[in-house]
Chain A
Amino acid sequence: MAATSIKNLKEFSTSNDRFEGAHTLCPGCAHSMIVRELMNCTDDNLVIATNTGCLEVSTAVYPFTSWDTSWIHIGFENAATAASGAEAMYKARKRKGSLKDNDASVKFVAFGGDGSTYDIGFQWLSGAVERGHDFTYICLDNENYANTGGQRSSATPIGATTTTAQAGSHSYGKKEKKKDMIAIMAAHGAPYVAQLAPNKWKSMAKGFQKALETEGPCFINTVSACCTEWKFDPKDTIGITDLATDSLIFPIYEIIDGHELNILYRPKNVIKVEDYLAAQGRYKHLFKPEYKHVIEQIQKDVDKQWEMLQRREEARI
């Protein structure tokens, strides 16, 4: 059940916050924008599992919790497992009629960072999606292990410097490309898979509502700009996300039932990836003459991916 009509922002703003302040995420962190939006876009009771990561360590600083719903912290790899276990028990107890309120609408959500989604919890997520539990997995993709000091993850894009893939005289940072998690999850046959960004709040809220309403495992990758590790001023979180979506580094699209691809946002003016890269400290070294070819490579990859998405949208296969 949708909480409030999300026709416009004024109506959306009448929803009641269920993610409280005084968590210890960095000022300007996009994680909390995304989590707040998920919890504001529905009135349903939520059962949330969170992997170890920035979100978990910052929102459950003993003796405080920032969550106004049922929430569990579990190991680095287990958010999908915990959510699917809770969902299985809920279904069984509902069938037996042993719940306190058998008519209540309950939704199961798992949050993970990109480290726990792309690397450490990948097998568990894959298993939960294959078993077909009715839950929504949301990856807060900030492209590195930000909680432990910015190590590379398989979501770190090519050319970014991280503490374990540092740029210097012999290296331009990470040499490998980012894993295409959305395609992998779509290949599982998940009924709803999407990539969303907090700067496009409307498509994000609609995507969240769609995922919560869809029966079966849904996967959403959200772009979460990390001011600490991407090295930009905290006030620019939304600006950087704008650059990311307008340069098509992070195209916003959904895939329904593993094949029906819809592009949810087409920038009026597509900007060059150079503008996006230049705004962040982690790509500073790419603007040296010897590493210019990496920027060209990134631009080529982005163009190719956008071409592919457009063709897939047309082909409807």
Chain B
Amino acid sequence: MQHLKLLANDNRGLNELENGTGLMGWHEVTQGSILPSFEGDATHIAHLKSEERSYSNFNSYTATVASWRVLKPVYNRDICIDCQNCWVWCPDSSILSRDKQMLGIDYDHCKGCSVCVEVCPTNPKSLIMFSEQTPLEDALGQWPEKKKKEDK
């Protein structure tokens, strides 16, 4: 999980979507507004990884929906085969993959839908949902054994 620190942006997790500071009422909002997603030039943004970009405070990348979660996915590096199924189907861009390797989960943006657990093909699964309060070490300690094929 040390990798995740590398990927963190200084602004990460500052803003809570529902109860954040600086939200205004409907009558205070001007009609029509332009929100720049980045500070400065963003022409070649498609070629930059998220840790290389300079996100503005308007970008929802700086916000968090972590409070939506009841269950959280826990990732087990030892079993993962880097198939990237979870990456392609994650609806919240919360699977961190670099250089064809799965690094972990972005807990600021994960809503805990457990789509990643469902599409994980390994046996036992390398992603399992645990209660939000379970520490990661405890979750990894409780990992189930490999399931044997049922006799037909």
Contact = CB atoms under 8 A, between A and B. Distances in A.
Give the interface residue-count category, chain B. 35 or more
A45 B46 contact: yes
Contacts of B37: 65, 67-68
A12 interface: yes
Given A21-B109, A45-B46, A235-B114, A63 B68 contact: no
Interface string A233-273: 01111110000000000000000000000000000000000
A238 B91 contact: no
B88 A37 contact: yes
B113 A234 contact: yes
Interface in A19-61: 19-25, 27-33, 36-37, 42-45, 59-61
Most buried by B among A12, A32, A37, A65: A65
Interface in B103-152: 106, 108-115, 117-119
Nearest to A42: B46
Question: What is the predominant secondary structure among interface residues of chain B facing chain A?
Answer: loop
B50 A28 contact: no
Contacts of B83: 9-10
B65 A33 contact: no
A104 B41 CA distance: 14
Given A37-B88, A238-B89, A11 B108 contact: no
Nearest to B85: A9
A13 B97 contact: yes
Contacts, number: 152
Interface string A126-144: 0000000000000000000
Most buried by B among A37, A42, A235, A238: A235
Given A61-B17, A235-B117, A32 B46 contact: no
A198 interface: yes
A18 B46 contact: yes
B35 A64 contact: yes
Contact of A13 (B42, B62, B100, B112): B100
Interface in B52-101: 53, 57-65, 68, 82-85, 87-94, 97-100
B59 A27 contact: no
A234 B116 CA distance: 11
Interface in A277-305: none
Contacts of B19: none
Give the interface residue-count category, chain A. 35 or more
A238 B59 contact: no
Contacts of B111: 27
A14 interface: yes
A29 B90 CA distance: 9
Contact of A235 (B45, B57, B99, B118): B118
A16 B49 contact: yes
B46 A43 contact: yes
Contacts of B92: 21-23, 27, 32
Contacts of B64: 22
B29 interface: yes
Nearest to B63: A22
Contacts of B17: 22, 24, 61, 64
Contacts of A17: 50, 93
A66 interface: yes
B28 to A, nearest CB: 10
Given A13-B97, A24-B17, A64-B59, A29 B46 contact: no
A28 B35 contact: no
Nearest to B100: A10
